[in-house]
Structure 1
Amino acid sequence: MLSGALVASLPLLVLLIGIPLMMKPAAKVAPIALVVTVLGAILFFGLPTKVVLLAALQGGLTGIFPIMYIPFGALVIYNVLKVTGWMDKMQGAMANLTIDRRAQALLIAFGFGAFLEGICGFGAPVAIPAMILVGLGYNPMMAAMVCLVANTGPVPFGSLAIPTVTLAKTTGQDLMGLSMMTGRLMAPLAFIMAFATVYAMSRGKGMRGALGTILVTGASFAVTEFLVSNFVSAELTSVLAALVCLTATAIHLKFKAKEEPWLFEGEKASDNAAPEFHPRELFLSWLPYLLLATFIILVNLKATKPLFAGTAPGWQALLIKVQIYNPGKLYAFSWLQTPGTVMLIAGLVAFPFMGVKYAVVGAQFGKTFRQMIPSFIAVACILAISEVMNVSLPIVDPKTKLAVWGVLGTKQISMVATLSQSIVHVVSRSVYPLLSPLFGMIGVFLTGSNTSANALFGNLQVLTAKAMGLSDILMAAAGSAGASAGKMVSPQSIVIAATAVGLAGKEGQIMRQTINYTIPYVILLGLMVWAFAFLFPGLVPLGR
C-alpha cells in the first residue's frame, strides 16, 4: 500500500514542487503532472493504456466545457465593459459613496471583490479591487493584503459556482446538497472575514467606529449566501450575495454620510473628493449582470430546467452527450443552460442599450480567448489528472451489467482510492474532520484555483469519509470551504495581487502577512466541520 500511495501522490508532488516552490506557471507544470499521472496509472497500477488516455480526454474536455467556458464568458463581458469605459463608471460610483477608508475596504475589497468572484473569479476579484484601492490612495502593500483577506467568503461559489459544480461532477455528489453544506460552512466565515477585512487595514484602532458598517456588510452577505446556497442554487450564490451586500452597504453609508470619516494619518477629507456619477450610467453599467441573474433563474426554474438542460422530449439538441470510456459516466454538456452561454447572451442583450457595438464584442472575444489559453491548458490538464486518478476497474455497463473495461470479479482500485486507504490507516475518525479543510487549502496553494483543488481532492475526501463512516457531503464541502483559506496564501493569487499594485518581487512580504489570517481561518473551519460531524449531524444534507 505504501508504494501505491507514493506513486499515486507523484502528480501532486510535481504540482507542489513546480508551482509554489519553483514558481513555474500552472500551464507548464500541469501537463508534466498529467504525463506522470498517465505513466503511473499504466505502468504501476496496470490500467489499460486506452482507458487511461480516454479518461484523460474526458477530463480535459470537461475542464474546457463547461468549466473554463464559464469564466471565459464572464471575462468577455468584463473586458468589453473595461475597454468601453463602463467598468470605470461602475468603479467611480462606488468611490463616490464614501471617503471613509474602512468603508472603502468593505465596499470595494469585500463587496465588489465578491461580485467579481461570483461572475468571473480567476484573479480578477483580487487584482481589480486592489488597483482601485491604490488609485484611491491606499498603500500598495495594504491594498494587496486587504483584497486577499476579503476574497474568501465567495470563493466556493465563484465563477457562477464552478468550483462547487466541479466538485459535484468529480465526486458524483448532489450539486444542491453540496451547495447547502458549503453555504452552511461559508456564511459564518464570510461574516467573520468582514471584520478581518477592516482589521487588516486599520488594526484595532479603526475597528470601533466601523462596527456598524462591518455588521451591515458581513451580515447582508452572509445571510444572502446562506439563503441562496440552501434554497435557490449554487450558481447564483456569490453574485446575489454580493449584490445584496453592495446595496445594503451603500444604503448604510448614505445614512452615515454626515459622520466624520476615518482617514489615514495625515489625510484631510478635502483631499479625497470623489467624482460625480449619474444613476442612469450606474444602472447601465450593471445591466449585463442584472440580466445574468435574471436569465440564470429563468433557465433553472422547475418548469424550464429540463428544457434548457436538453432532457425534455424535443429539446435534446441542447444537450451534448457522448460516451467516451465509461457508459456509467457519460460526458455531458448543456450548452445553452451553462452560465458561460447565459453570460454572453446577457451581454449581447444589454450592449445595445449601452451603446456598445458588436464589433467591440468580437474583438474582446478573441482577446479573451488568447488571454485565457494558459488557464485552459492548466485546468484541462488538472481535470484530466483527476479523471485518470479516479479510474478503477472493472468499468461495468449499467444496462448490460457486462464489463466494458477490466474483468468482472477482478478489482483494480483507483489512485485516489489508494491514497484514501493510506489516510484511513494513519488518521483516526475523530481527528479527520479537523484536518479535512487542509486538503482544500493545500489544493489551492498548489494550483491557485478552488476548481482545480476540488477536482484533485474532492473524490479523496468522499472515499475517505465513506471508509471512516463520516458524511461524504460534509467532507467534500469542508475541502471546498478550506480552499478559501488557500486563496490568501496561494502563490498565484499573491503574484496577481503584487503585480496589480506594483509590488512584483515582494510576494514573500505579502504572504508573511496573509498567513496570519489563514491559520486561524483553517482552525476555525476545522472546528466547525468537527461540530457538524459529531455534535450536529442532523444539520448535514444527505449525500449519495
Structure 2
Amino acid sequence: MHDAIHFLLAGLPILFALICLVWLKMPALYTAVCSYGLAFALAFFSFDASVQDLLHSSIHGMLLSVTVIYVLVFGLLLYNLLNESGAMNIIAYGLFRFCHSPAEQGLLISAALGPFLEAVSGFGIAVVIAAPLYLSLGFSAKKTMMLSLLTQSAVPWGALAIGTVINAELSRVPLHQLGEYSAMASIPLYIFYTFIVVAVSGGKKSVKQHLDSIFLVSSVLSLVTWATSAYVSTELAGVLAGGAAGCVLIAYWKLKSFISNREIETFASHVQMLKGNFYKAVVPYAVLTVYIFVSHFSAACKRIVTDALVIQLPEYRFHLELLYSPGFALFIASLIAVWLYQINVARLAVCIKKTLRQVYPAGMATMGFIAMSSVMEGSGMTHFLAAHIAALVGSWFIIASPLIGAIGGFMSGSNSAANAMFSHFQSTMAEQLHHPALLYATAQNVSASNMTMASPSRIALAASITNRSGQEGQFVRDILPIAFAALLIIMSSIVGLGFFFE
C-alpha cells in the first residue's frame, strides 16, 4: 500500500501538468511553475530529498533550459527579421514553384524537410523554421502548430544524432546497430506521420489523392535512414534521409507535371516575378545550414568552436559551447538577414521587442518543465516510477520499455535528456531479464524521441511562434492522440523486433 501511494505521488507532477493544460486550460507558463512547485514539495516531503539537493537539481534543470532558450531566442529573432523584411512571404510564394496544394506543402515542409532541419540543428529548430512558413502560406494557427510539431518525426537523428550517441554509450551497445534498429522501428512511424501530415494539411479527402507521394516520401525516409545508419554514419542518417526525400519528392512532382503537360497557374506570375528574390530570401537559412554542417564535420572548425567561448559549471553538469550551438548559427543567420535586407535600427528594435515578447512565455515554460524534470530525476521520483512499472509488468517489460522512454521524452522535451535519464535503467533491466540490451536501447531511443513532439516545452514553443501563448491546452489536446497512436505503433514494432532477436 505504501509503495502504491508513493507510485501515485511520483507520477503526480506529470498528471497535474496534463490536467492543468488539457482540462483546466491553464497557460503553459503557469502550469510549468505550479508543476515545478509540486514536484519540489513532493520530493521534499515524500521522497526525503534535502532542500540543498533539490536546489541543486533545480539549478541544473534551469541551466539545461538555457541551452534551449539560447536557440529559441535567435530562432525567433531570425523569423521576425525575415517577416519584417518580407522574406517570409517571398519564401512562401517561392514554394509554389514546387508544391501547389496545401497537402503538397505539408509533405515537402513537414515530412521531407522537417527531418533534414531537425537533423542538422536539433533543439526543435525545425519547429521554429516550419511554423513561420506555414503561417506565411495561410495555414491556420491550429494546423501550423500540428504540422510544425510533426517535423519532429526523426528526432533520434536530431542534432546529428546526439541523443542516440548518448543512448549507445550508456547502454553499452554499438552506435551503428542502435541507429540501424531505431531506423527499422521508425519505418511504420514514417508511414503514419506522412499520412497524418497530408490529412492535417489538405484534409482527409486529400490522402487518397496523394497516396503515391505519401508512400514515396515514407519509403525514401525509411530506406535512406536505415541504410545510412547501418553502412555509413548514424550521425548523418537524418540529414541524408530528409535531403533525399525532399529532392526525390520535387523531382517526382516535376516529372508528373511534365508527363501530364500540365502547369498550375496559381501564383505563377508572382513566382516568376519573385524568382530572383526567392534565392535571396533563403540565404540566411543556407548560411545556418552550412555553418552547422561545417562546424560539426570539419575537424579544424569543430576544434575551434568547441574550445572557444565555452561556459562550464561542472558542479551542475552544465556545458554550453556558445559557438558550437545552433543558437550561434541562428545568430549569424540573423546578422546576415539584417545586412541583406538593410534593416535599420528602428525596424531592428521592433523585431527584438517582438522576439522578447514571444520568448518570455515559451522560455519560462521550458525552464519550469525542465526544472521539474530535473527535480524528479534528482530526488529519485523518476527512477521510482520506472522501477515500479518494470516490477508491475515483470517479464513483459518489453511492453513497458517504450512507455518509460515516452515518459522521459514527454517530461524533458529532449531525446538527449530522456536517454540520459533512462538508458542505463533500460540496460539494467535487459541484464536482469536476460534480454538483448540493444532491444531496450532501441525502445528507449525511439519512444523518447517521438514523445518530445507532445512535451509541454515543445507545445509552448509552437504556441509562442503562432502567437497563441495561453492556448497550449488546446494544442496538447490536438497533438496527444497522434503521440499516443505513435507510441502504440512503437510498442508493436519493439515486440516485432523482440521476435526477430529470438
Structure 2 length as normaliser, TM-score? Answer: 0.77
Q: Alpha carbons of 1:141 and 1:56: their partners in 2 closer, same or farther (altered >3 Å)?
A: closer
* Residue 197 of structure 1: aligned partner: 197
Contact 2:145 2:463 (8 Å CA) reproduced: no
Q: 2-side partners of 1:440 and 1:290: how far apart?
A: 34
- Residue correspondence of structure 1 range 318-337 to structure 2 within 5 A: 318-324=309-315, 330-337=317-324
Residues 1-32 of structure 1 show CA distances to partners (whole Å, capped at 9, x for unaligned) of 33332332222222122112211122111112
Residues 307/246 of structure 1: CA separation in 2 closer, same or farther (3 Å cut):
same
The within-5 A match list for 1:177-196 is 182-186=182-186, 188-196=188-196
Q: Deviation per CA, 1:468-517: give whole Å up to 9, x if none.
A: 53535323213224416748x9995899599789xx999599849x84x5
Matched, 1:275 2:238: no
- 1:352–1:505 Cα change, 3 Å: closer
Check 1:150–1:416 CA distance in 2 against 1; reply closer, same or farther (3 A cut). closer
Matched, 1:479 2:442: no
Match of 1:48 among 47, 50, 75: 50
Match status 1:379 vs 2:366: yes
Distance verdict in 2 for CA 1:442–1:304, change over 3 Å: same
Structure 2 portions without partners, runs of 5+: none
Cα distance change, pair 483–170 in 1 and its aligned pair in 2 (3 A): farther
How many residue pairs end up in the alignment?
486
The 1:318/1:495 distance shift into structure 2, 3 A limit, reads closer
Counterparts of 1:402-481 in structure 2 under 5 Å? 414-429=380-395, 431-438=396-403, 450-451=413-414, 455=417, 459-460=421-422, 462-469=424-431, 471=437, 473-481=441-449
Give 1:340's aligned amino acid: G
Confirm or deny: 8 A CA contact 2:61 2:374 kept in the other structure: yes
Does the 8 A contact of 1:295 with 1:346 survive in 2?
no
Residue correspondence of structure 1 range 5-404 to structure 2 within 5 A? 5-64=7-66, 66-100=67-101, 102-111=103-112, 120-121=124-125, 124=128, 127-128=131-132, 130-131=134-135, 134=138, 147=147, 151=151, 153-155=153-155, 160=159, 164=163, 182-186=182-186, 188-198=188-198, 210-226=210-226, 231=232, 241-258=241-258, 275-277=270-272, 278-301=274-297, 303-304=299-300, 307-308=303-304, 310=306, 315=307, 317-324=308-315, 330-349=317-336, 351-353=338-340, 355-356=342-343, 360=347, 363-391=350-378
Match of 2:319, SS state, is strand
> Is the 8 Å Cα contact of residues 26 and 473 (structure 2) preserved in structure 1?
no
1:365-387 superposed Cα distances (whole Å, 9 cap, x missing partner):
44323311112212212222222
Which has the larger helix fraction? Answer: 2
- Residue 530 of structure 1 and its aligned partner are, at CA, apart by 2.4
User: Displacement of 1:246 after TM fit?
Assistant: 3.1
Determine the C-alpha separation between the residues in 1 that align with 2:202 and 2:309: 52
Change (3 A) 1:67 1:144: closer
The CA distance in 1 between the partners of 2:344 and 2:174, in whole Å, is 37
Structure 2 counterpart of 1:399: none
TM-score, normalised on structure 1?
0.72
AA of the residue aligned to 1:281: N
Q: CA deviation at 1:226?
A: 4.8
Report deviation, 1:210.
Answer: 3.5
Amino acid at match of 1:282: F
After superposition, give the CA deviation of every residue in 1:289-347 in whole Å (9 maximum; x if it has no partner): 2222222222223623762464xxxx4x532222335xxxx321111111111221244
Q: Does 1:522 align with 2:490?
A: no
Structure whose CA Rg is larger: 1
Q: Secondary structure at the residue paired with 2:323?
A: coil
Code of the aligned partner of 1:319: V
Q: Say which structure, 1 or 2, has more relative contact order (CA 8 Å, 6+ apart).
A: 2
Q: CA 1:156 to 1:298, structure 2 compared with 1: closer, same or farther past 3 Å?
A: same
Q: Give the aligned residue type for 2:91.
A: M
User: Mind listing any 5+ residue stretches in structure 1 that lack a counterpart?
Assistant: 263-267, 393-413, 538-544
Following the alignment from structure 1 to structure 2, what is the Cα–Cα distance between the partners of residues 438 and 282?
Answer: 44
Q: Supply the AA of the counterpart residue of 1:34.
A: Y
Identity %: 20
Distance 1:181 1:286, change over 3 A: farther
Mapped contact 2:459–2:472 kept (Cα < 8 A): no
Q: Hey, what's the Cα distance between the residues in 2 that align with 1:61 and 1:192?
A: 35
Say whether the 8 Å CA contact 1:19–1:29 is kept in structure 2: yes
The one of 486, 493, 497 aligned to 1:532: 497
1:128/1:500 contact within 8 Å kept: no
Farther off after superposition, 432-441 or 250-259: 432-441
